Amino acid sequence: PKDPPGSPSAASIKITKEVANAFVKRQKRSTLYFEYYKSPMEQMHERCENYPPCDYLSDQIGFSMAYNRFFG
């Protein structure tokens, strides 16, 4: 199919990289990585907090000793 007279063809339409980037915003991988990643220490704290005896004991003797007593 031919283009109507006076219309630009696809080959003649070009834009610069900067202009294209203004339209398309890519999400950075680093921000996505940190949204879903929890450190091992944070995972341990959550595990202890979700188990009432460990949570109570961590207030008495400290997190690391309470965690090791129940999960270590």
d(Cα 46, Cα 55) in Å, to the nearest integer?
9
Predicted local confidence at residue 38, as pLDDT: 84
Higher-pLDDT residue of 39 and 10 is 39
Is pLDDT above 90 for 28? Answer: no
**pLDDT one-digit tens code per residue, 51-69:** 999 999 999 999 999 999 9
Residue type at position 10: A
d(Cα 1, Cα 23) in Å, to the nearest integer?
29
